[in-house]
Structure 1
Amino acid sequence: MMRLCLTAVTVLAGFGAATVAHADGRLEARYRMSLGGLEVGRAALVIEVDDNSYIASGSGRLTGVVQAVSPGKGTAGARGVVARGTLGPRAFAMEAESDKKKEAIRLVMNGGGVAQMAVMPPVGASPDRVPVTDKDKKGIFDPMTAALIMVPGTDEPLSAKACERTLSIFDGRQRYDLVLSFERMEAVKAEKGYAGPSVVCRVAYRPVSGHKPNRTAVKYMMANKEMYVWLAPVAGTRMLVPFRAAVTTAIGVAALEAESFETEPMVGRKASPAKAAAP
């Protein structure tokens, strides 16, 4: 549950970059996480992008009854370059702490894929786990970078085109694809900040490696037809990021929704180290 809280902004929505950048903007957002209508966590996300680089930072913590049963908190962040109209991830880090364990992941990347990685605790050897190969670490995005959607071309970014993609993600333990398809357009409104249209994408989960195919949870997610993400724009850019996400589970709908979604252009400003405030 802690890991879901920490990476919900990125993994639940799990998106990759497309082609044309045109990005000079900043987003600061705060999210509420719920399960079956009950709050289970809070998360915060800060993104800054300019013509040459991007920085993203997130934090999360469990709240309410879940916190009383199993307290947890953590942070995640990524940085990279913007070159030839694409996002190039260079570093990703995630740390999570609960009452049972601590977890940390570090990825260093270049144009060819993952150059260095450290995962603690290490992934244990298991005969029923699909091994992650060197090929699986190429042509991928880390989960945080994958939260940034760049819509190519000159047409309105908030369109069906934003959902027309298959995203390749490696989180240090597993390699998987998220297949997006257009569902509808829908208006959204945060308590503070953005109010306007969003594009809703249906999401399908396709594991590639690092998973155990016979696990019930893996089979359930592969067959799950009720996973959606609502994408909203970052001012001054062609970038869209998650405003809301929802996944139907066996015990209710797991949802992530922005309570505040404050965004502004950054033309003429250089991206600075982004730090997400405590959610």
Structure 2
Amino acid sequence: MARLRLPVLLAAALLGLGAAPSSAAATTATASYVVNLGGNIIANAKFRFIDDGSAYSLSLDANVSGVAQLVASGIAKVDSSGAITDDGLRSNSFDLLTRSGGDEFNIRVQYQKAAVTAFVIDPPIANNIDRIPIERKQLSGVNDFLASFIRKGRLDRSLCDYRAKIFTGVERFDLNFSFAKDDVATSKRTGYQGPVVLCNIKYKPIAGHYTTSEITNSLAQDDRILIWFAPLGDSGYAIPYRVLLTTSMGDLSMVLTSLN
């Protein structure tokens, strides 16, 4: 299950929809991505986003294909819902379910005003001596990893002036964004062609991770975590066009293939 969860968590954490100013009019969008790990296609992911002007819902459905020892096959479903605020989206509820080989793993987190009020992990994760304990003070001012990528702003360098404080139910970490450059997406094989903004991301583990985790340590040292944002038509929203990061299992790449 760990081999299934990790790529799904990484993909979902970096593929959450990003936003510019919201309007009172309802917005509904779907976006599909292909996920490639170490040169092998491991998943197809589909997002659905609904914004009614005061509340939002986000959902992810992914089919994960087993590739040797890189990742276990299975499915993943993620749901996030909450309020639309002046600062972006603020999660009230987050649910992740993975299913592989007859086994299920479920995370449920409840938030109130950016503070975690309850979370359940089923089955529980072992608190080995090398796991950094999560402290109550670390669970305020946080968001879930889908809602964390919904932001207000224009498609310019200000989109990258951002720190996401994320709690997944298992781990607490920060993603520090910084501007890299303005760019243009030109590939006809993707779901968008036009201007994009490239941001660098620095991953900082806080708690809940294992100090002996090769993936965690690799991500913390990686200076090549990149995300390209593209506009969602004329809706005032922006979404990730492409994501690229290095893992111990090879490059993890996610690319937009369709957009409605």
Opposite residue 240 of structure 1, the aligned amino acid is A
SS of residue in 1 equivalent to 2:227: strand
Identity within the alignment, %: 26
Partner of 1:137: 139
Equivalent residue number for residue 45 of structure 1: 47
Among 150, 162, 168, the residue aligned to 1:148: 150
What is the CA deviation profile of residues 198-252 of structure 1, one whole-angstrom value per residue up to 9, with x for unaligned ones? 1111111101111123433322111111110111122344432212101123443
Report the equivalent of 2:173. 176
- Between the aligned partners of 2:57 and 2:178, the Cα distance in structure 1 is 27
Matches within 5 A, 1:90-101: 90-99=92-101, 101=103
Of residues 62-71 and 125-134 in structure 1, the stretch that sits farther from structure 2 once superposed is 62-71
Shift of 1:35: 1.7
Find the partner of 2:233 among 232, 235, 238: 235
Could you list the per-position Cα deviations for residues 11-36 of structure 1 after superposition, in whole angstroms to 9, with x for gaps in the alignment? 13568889x54474322111111123
Partner residue in 2 for 1:212: 210
Shift of 1:96: 0.1
Unmatched segments (≥5 aa) in structure 1: 152-156, 263-279
Conserved 8 A contact 2:227-2:240: yes
Deviates further, 235-244 or 109-118: 235-244
- Please, which runs of 5 or more residues in structure 2 have no aligned partner? none
| Higher RCO (Cα < 8 Å, 6 or more apart) | 1
- The residue that corresponds to 1:114 in the other structure is 116
Q: TM-score, normalised by structure 2?
A: 0.87
Tell me, yes or no, if the aligned pair for 1:22 and 1:85 is still in contact at 8 Å. no
Of 182, 192, 195, 1:194 maps to 192
**Conservation of the 8 A alpha-carbon contact between 2:35 and 2:253:** yes
Q: How far did residue 65 of structure 1 move?
A: 3.9
Contact 1:105/1:117 (8 A) holds in 2: yes
- Specify the code of the residue in structure 2 equivalent to 1:143: F
In structure 2, relative to structure 1, the CA distance for the partners of 1:197 and 1:120 (3 Å cut) is same
Once the two structures are superposed, residues 158-205 of structure 1 have per-residue CA deviations (whole angstroms, 9 ceiling, x without a partner) of: 101100111100000110000111111222256575322111111111
Match of 1:160 in 2: 157
Q: Find the counterpart in structure 2 of residue 256 from structure 1.
A: 254
Matching residue of 2:28: 26
Q: Aligned pair count?
A: 256
Matched, 1:82 2:84: yes
Deviations 1:44-89 (A, max 9, x none): 1011113211110101111364599832112001111123454221
Conserved in 2, the CA contact under 8 Å of 1:81 and 1:87?
Answer: yes
The one-letter code matched in structure 2 to 1:99 is G
